């Protein structure tokens, strides 16, 4: 099963994020495999975790393939805000 979200503030203590991270911990504690990847706003803000559990060791899980897209409109809005702040 694959899950994905866009435009979410991903802090492990947030109400909507904590259950997901707890679920991954539970999978690992019960020896079930998972793959996890999170891409943040900044280029270097990437997390990848995986676990290969004994309960499904004969199943090969694929690793997530994520693509960071370039949002022209967002960049131009930021550039215009910077110019306005300089004035």
Structure-token match 């004969």, residue found: 58
All structural domains of the chain with their residue ranges? 18-86
The partner residues of 46 in beta bridges, in order of sequence, read 39
Tokens (6 digits) for 14: 């947030």
pLDDT digits (tens, 9 = 90+) for 17-37: 999 999 999 999 999 999 998
pLDDT digits (tens, 9 = 90+) for 28-73: 999 999 999 888 877 788 888 899 999 987 888 887 777 767 677 8
Beta carbons within 10 angstroms of residue 70's beta carbon: 6
- pTM equals 0.66
Structure-token match 């998972």, residue found: 34
Q: Which burial class, exposed, middle or buried, applies to 80 when counting CB atoms under 10 A from its CB (0-12, 13-18, 19+)?
A: exposed
């Amino acid at each position: 099963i694959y899950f994905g979200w866009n435009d979410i503030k991903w802090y492990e203590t947030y109400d909507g994020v904590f259950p997901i991270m707890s679920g991954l911990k539970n999978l690992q504690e019960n020896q079930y495999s998972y793959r996890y990847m999170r891409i943040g706003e900044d280029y270097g803000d990437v997390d990848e975790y995986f676990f290969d559990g004994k309960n499904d060791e004969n199943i090969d899980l694929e690793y997530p393939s994520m693509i960071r897209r370039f949002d022209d409109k967002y960049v131009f809005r930021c550039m215009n805000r910077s110019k306005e702040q300089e004035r």
